[in-house]
Amino acid sequence: MPEKIISVDYNDEMGQSYIDYALSVITDRALPDVRDGLKPVQRRILYTLSELTKSNTPHRKCARIVGDAMGKYHPHGDSSIYEGLVNMAQNWKMAIPLVDPHGNFGAVDGSGAAAMRYTEARISEYTEDACMKDISYFKDSFVPNFDGTETEPTFLPFQVPNLLISGSTGIAVGMATNIPTHNLGEVVDALSAYMQNPDISLDELLDIMPGPDFATGGIINASREDLLNVYSTGLGKIKVRGKVEIRDIGYGRKSICITEIPTTMIGSTASFLDNVAALVRNRELPAVVDIADRGDKNGECLCIDVKKGTSEEEIENIINILYKKAGLEDTFGVNINCINDGKPEVMGLKRIFELYSAFKKEIYNTKYTKLLAAEEDTKEIKSGLIEAVDCIDLIIEILRGAKNTADARNCLIHGDTSKIKFRFEGSELDARELRFTEKQADAILAMRLQRLIGLEVLALKKELADAEKKIKKYTSLLKDEKKMLAQMISDMQEIKEKHALPRRTKIAKFQEIKIKAPEQVAKDVAVLLDRFFYIKVIDDSVYNKNVEQIKNDYRHSFICSNTDRIGIFTDNGNMYTIKVADIIKQQAKKNVAKGKKDSGGLLGRLSDKGIQIFDFCNMNGDENIPFMGSIEQIATQTLVFANSDGLAKRVEGSNFDVTRKMISFGKENETFCLVAPCLESDFVVCCTKDGYYLRVACNEIPTRGRSAGGVKLIGLTENDELTEAYCGSVKDEFLHKEQLVPFTKIKIAKRGAKGIKMRSFN
C-alpha cells in the first residue's frame, strides 16, 4: 500500500481541537440542561439507579452503581461519577436530595464520604415521583450509548423545574454556572402562575417565589431590587450570612451560637473557626474566651463563648466582626448558565419558565398520546374478548377443527373456513361472518378458559368501560389546551403537597455592617529604632530605667502615647506615617507565633529584635532617617529643615498632621541633612564638606509651607555642600568626628554667611 502523507497546519489543527474540547466540556460535562436541570453524569447516574433500585427496595452498593454507570453510559473516571452521586445525596447541598443515601456520605464541615465500597444508595422517592414514573413513555427518544450496546435518555421527564429546585455548580472552558437552589413549593406555585399567564411580571413572580432557598438555611441579605436584577438577567451577586442566636450558658456567661451557616461556608466551617481564633489572637475579639463546634446530627451549632459581663453592645459588635472578617457573611455569585438546544445560554427566571413550559407541554403531549394509544388497544382487545365470549362455542369448534394456529387465526380475522373442519351443520356459515381484528384474534387465541366464568366476563366489561372512560379523558386533554394545563398544574401540586418543605432561608435587607473600633486606653510608651531599621514599642518605665543605654544603641528613641502616630522623616524629602497601635499589634502576632506568653503585655521587651520598619511603609531601604517622632507632638511644634545645598526653612508642625500614609516636604533630588524641632531661641550649626562651620539663630530662618523651597542658610563655595547640621540651644553639644562639641564653640553669624574654616575644636 503506497504511503500517503497529509499536510496539516499546526495552528489550525490545535485551534480546532481546542474548540472541539471546549464545546464537549460545555455541553457534555459542566453545564446542566434547562429541561431537567441535570448534567450528563447526573442524568446517567439517576437512570442507572432507576434500573437497579426503587425507592422502596433495599439500597445497593455505590460501587455497583458507579460500575454500571461507567460501563454502560459514562466512560470516564469512577471518582467523578461517585462524586456526582454523593453530591446528589447530601441534604446540605440539596434540600430534597435526588438520591437516598445509606452510610457515610460526608458532612457539612467538609469531611468526605467513605469509599464507594462501603456506602449504599437508591433512587429517592422524590426523584421517582417527579421523574422516573414516566420514563417509559420516552424510550423512543433514547440514543445509543458510547459503544452502541445500550441506549440512554437525553433528558429525564421532570414534572417540576429541577434546574431551580436542585441548583447546579460547574466550571467549563471559558464559562461557568452557579445556580442557587429554590423551594419546591414556591417554584411550583410560581410556574403555575406563569403557565396560566405568560405575561405575568417578574415582580409578581417574586411575590410568589421571593428568592433562593438554601439547604443550610441562613439569611440572604438582599433587597427586592437586587433580586429583580438577578432574576431578570440571570447574573448578579447576593450576600448570604449565617443565622445567629445568643444563648445563656450559665454562670452569667453568654454564647454566640451560629445555628445556620451560609451556603458558601459548606465545607469550610473549620476554616471559619480558625479565622475566629486568629481574630482572638490579634486582640480584635478580646471578649471571646472559647470557640467550639457543638454541632450534632440535627444541625450546625458553632459557638463563640464570651466573658462574663460582656454587654449586649459588645456582643453585637462581635457578631458584626464575625460577619465582616471571619466569613459569616459572604457573596454568592449567581450565574444561571445552562444548555438550551445544545448551546449555552445565560437566562433569567421568565426565560427558564418559558423553555421549561414548552418542554413540559411536549412531554405531556407525548405521554398522553401514548396513553391514549394504549387504552385504544385495550378497548379493542377487551371488546373482542367480550364478543368472543358471546360466540365461544363457535370459536371452540374452529379451534378444534383447525390444523394449526395460523388457520384458526385466519378464520377469526377473515372468516376463511376452507381449512377448518366443522362438527355441526351451520357452524361454517356462522364462521364465515367472523371479522375480528388481528389484536383481537391474538387475544382470543391467548385467552384462558377461566375467562368464561361469569365474574370474569363482568371484569372484562368493567375493564372495557374503564378504557372507554380513559380514552375520553385523554382525547379531551389532547384536544383542549386548558384541560391539559390544569392537568399539568394538578400533577405539580400533588408533588408539592407530598415533598415540599417549609422555606429555610430568610430574605431581608440589612444595613451596612459597621464595626466599632475598641476603645484604647491611652498609655505612655517608648518607640525605638535601631541602626538596622528594626522598630519596637516598649513600656516607658523600661525606657526610663535604660535611657543612657538606649541613647547609645538606638538611632532614634522617644516617648509618646500608644494611640499616637509616628512620623518618619527621610533624607529624600518624604514623611511616612505609622500607627503605634499597628506596631504593637504586629509585636503581639510575632510573640504568639513564637509561642511566647504576653499575658496582656502587648509591648515588646528591650531585648526583642523588633520588626522591620519596611513592613509598615513603602520605604525602599536606601533612605536615611534624620528624624522621627510622634505626629501628635510634632503638631504643636515648629520643625527646621536644611538640605545639602545649604538652604533651610521652618515649617509649622501642624502641616504634618495628616491621615495619608506618605507625604512630601521637599522637591525632587533634594537631600536633607537636618530635620528637627526648634524654638525661637535655638540655633542651627552648619558643617560643610570643606570644613566650614556656621551658627545661625533659628529666628532668622523664615517659616514657610511644607513643600516650599528654603532660603540660603550658609554660603557655599564651588563644589562644597552641607553635610551636617544640628539644632539646639547654647547649652547643647553636637557629636562631630566622635568628639562632643559645644554649640558655643561655633561663632554666630548672619544667615547666608560663608562661615569659618576650622581644623580643630580644642
Catalytic positions, written as ranges: 118
Q: Which amino acid is at 325?
A: K
Evaluate whether 723 touches 688 at the Cβ level (below 8 Å): yes
Strand partners, 642: 648, 674
As beta bridge partners, residue 334 has 236
Contacts of 55 (CB under 8 A, 6+ apart): 100, 122, 123, 124, 125, 127, 128
Residue type, 175: M
Distances (CA, A) of 378 to 135, 138, 433, 460, 469: 21, 20, 23, 10, 12
> DSSP 3-state assignment of 115?
coil
Is-contact 531 214, C-beta < 8 A? no
Measured CA to CA, the distance from residue 473 to residue 152 in angstroms comes to 31
Closest CA to 325 of 292, 284, 374: 284
Q: List Cβ neighbours of 390 (8 Å cut-off, separation of 6 or more).
A: none
The candidate with the shortest Cα–Cα distance to 198, out of 357, 336, 60, is 357
How far apart, in whole angstroms, are the C-alpha atoms of residue 37 and residue 49? 17
Q: Which helix (H) or strand (E) holds 200?
A: none
Residue 336 in contact with residue 347, Cβ under 8 Å? yes
Cβ neighbourhood burial of 597 (10 Å; 0-12, 13-18, 19+): exposed
* Cα 318 from chain centroid (whole Å): 23
The residue assigned the cell 535601631 is 530
Per the CB < 8 A criterion, the answer to whether 354 and 198 are in contact is yes
Instruction: Give the Cβ contact number of residue 617 at 10 Å.
Output: 16
C-alpha cell at 184: 419546591
Asked whether the beta carbons of 333 and 176 are under 8 A apart, the reply is no
Distances (CA, A) of 280 to 300, 325, 494: 22, 12, 52
Instruction: Compute the residue count for the chain.
Output: 762
Angle at alpha carbon of residue 411, lines to 408 and 413, rounded to 5°: 110
Grid coordinates belonging to 752: 547666608
With a CB cutoff of 8 Å and minimum separation 6, the contacts of 739 are 761
Cell numbers representing residue 534 in the block: 528594626
Residues 6+ apart with CB under 8 A from 196: 485, 489
C-alpha cell belonging to residue 707: 513643600
CA gap 299, 243 in Å, rounded: 12
Q: Helix crossing, 40-52 with 78-87: angle to 10°?
A: 80
Nearest C-alpha neighbor of 160 from the set 125, 205, 190, 200: 190
CA–CA separation, 530 vs 604, rounded Å?
14
- Characterize the bridge pairing of strands 506-508 and 219-221: parallel
Q: d(Cα 116, Cα 130) in Å, to the nearest integer? A: 27
